[in-house]
């Protein structure tokens, strides 16, 4: 296939993404601002560079952060700006997790018309099932972007659930992870309640989970990792007064503060 593809950001997500794409699109390159990331990628057999190449399709898998109390989309903007300078007609596929409105704002700022948002759902514990090839939500800026993006993802054998806007695609990722966050926070609250009343939380959880529409997760050591705490904050950016979401964050902080070695080992 003659189409040139470049994956921007060669970390947890970008690495398996570029490896998968390179199997199908022979002219695929990985790009990262970090020399270390590029060297690691090259050692893994990836055609990688710190010099952004001209491409027909740019897949953005760089970092997004929540830091100093606010979302930080600087890496995404940097990637978009550089891709726009090299090829303003390229299709840009955002696979990073974005705050709602990011893709449209950048498209406008850099005068881009071919934009797709296809957030990643990669899950390292079960990469066979939930790796690069799994059902993904796809939202595009317009019909032309949709045609191009569908051709791209179909060629990659990545099934897509198409939505009518890039905002729905951006939000869907945040809603998925926040949904899980809320369920864990509820389990944590129940566990604290059990501890205070000398009841066994695992027994309660197993009992409740026998009902067909209940799926209480374990209450482990608090909600950690990078994605869940970040994504609930990204979602809150769009409606800060949410008592439910803010309550879940408070609950997680409360749970972590009350953890003792004794009750962490039982989960
Ligand atoms: N890790 C996961 O399980 C997971 C799952 C789904 C979605 N995501 C999302 O995917 C995105 C990437 O996550 P990750 O875990 O791969 O991050 P990571 O930290 O492993 O990798 C990000 C890479 O982007 C590079 N980068 C940073 N700024 C750049 C720039 N301006 N230009 C080019 N490269 C740049 C970094 O050097 C790094 O190599 C995030 O938005 C994350 O929320 C991650």
> For each of the chain's 267 residues, which pLDDT tens digit applies?
789 999 999 999 999 999 999 999 999 999 999 999 999 999 999 999 999 999 999 999 999 999 999 999 999 999 999 999 999 999 999 999 999 999 999 999 999 999 999 999 998 889 889 999 999 999 999 999 999 999 999 999 999 999 999 999 999 999 999 999 999 999 999 999 999 999 999 999 999 999 999 999 999 999 988 999 999 999 999 888 899 999 999 999 999 998 755 444 222
Ligand 1, atom 11: closest residue by C-alpha: 96
CA of 21 to the centre of ligand 1 (A): 17
Q: Is 37 in the pocket of ligand 1 (CB under 6 A)?
A: yes
| Closest CA relative to residue 13, chosen from 169, 118, 154, 160 | 118
According to CATH, where is 1.10.1040.10 located in the chain?
172-265
Nearest ligand 1 atom to the CA of 10 is 39
CATH class of 172-265: mainly alpha
Q: Is 100 in the pocket of ligand 1 (CB under 6 A)?
A: no
What Rg, from alpha-carbon coordinates, does the chain have?
Answer: 21
- pLDDT of amino acid 267: 25
Q: Is 72 in the pocket of ligand 1 (CB under 6 A)?
A: no
Determine contact, residues 181/157, Cβ cutoff 8 Å.
Answer: no
Nearest ligand 1 atom to the CA of 95 is 10
The Cα–Cα gap between 177 and 186 comes to 14
Quick one: CA torsion of 202, 220, 137, 133, rounded to 10 degrees?
Answer: -100
Name the residue with tokens 């090259």: 42
Nearest ligand 1 atom to the CA of 12 is 16
- pLDDT of amino acid 124: 86
| Closest CA relative to residue 169, chosen from 227, 113, 218, 104 | 104
The Cα–Cα gap between 29 and 204 comes to 51
Q: For domain 5-164, give its CATH number from 3.20.20.70, 3.40.50.720, 1.10.3720.10, 1.10.10.10.
A: 3.40.50.720
Determine contact, residues 149/116, Cβ cutoff 8 Å.
Answer: yes
According to CATH, where is 3.40.50.720 located in the chain?
5-164
Q: Is 32 in the pocket of ligand 1 (CB under 6 A)?
A: yes
Q: Is 252 in the pocket of ligand 1 (CB under 6 A)?
A: no
């Amino acid at each position: 296939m003659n189409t040139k593809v470049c994956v921007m950001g060669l970390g947890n997500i970008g690495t398996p993404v570029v490896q998968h794409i390179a199997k199908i699109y022979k002219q695929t390159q990985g790009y990262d601002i970090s020399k270390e990331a590029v060297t690691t990628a090259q050692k893994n057999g990836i055609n990688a560079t710190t010099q952004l190449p001209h491409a027909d399709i740019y897949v953005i898998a760089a970092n997004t952060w929540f830091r100093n109390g606010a979302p930080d989309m600087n890496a995404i903007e940097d990637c978009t700006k550089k891709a726009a300078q090299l090829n303003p007609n390229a299709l840009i596929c955002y696979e990073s997790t974005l705050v709602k409105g990011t893709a449209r704002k950048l498209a406008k700022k850099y005068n881009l018309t071919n934009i797709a948002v296809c957030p990643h759902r990669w899950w390292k514990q079960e990469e066979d099932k939930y790796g690069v090839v799994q059902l993904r939500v796809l939202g595009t800026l317009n019909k032309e972007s949709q045609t191009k993006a569908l051709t791209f993802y179909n060629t990659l054998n990545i099934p897509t659930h198409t939505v009518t806007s890039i905002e729905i695609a951006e939000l869907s990722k945040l809603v998925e992870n926040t949904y899980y966050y809320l369920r864990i926070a509820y389990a944590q609250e129940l566990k604290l309640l059990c501890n205070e009343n000398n009841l066994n939380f695992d027994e309660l959880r197993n009992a409740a989970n026998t009902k067909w529409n209940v799926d209480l997760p374990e209450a482990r050591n608090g909600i950690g990792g990078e994605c869940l705490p970040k994504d609930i904050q990204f979602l809150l950016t769009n409606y800060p007064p949410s008592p439910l979401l803010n309550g879940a964050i408070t609950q997680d902080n409360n749970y972590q503060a009350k953890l003792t070695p004794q009750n962490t080992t039982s989960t």
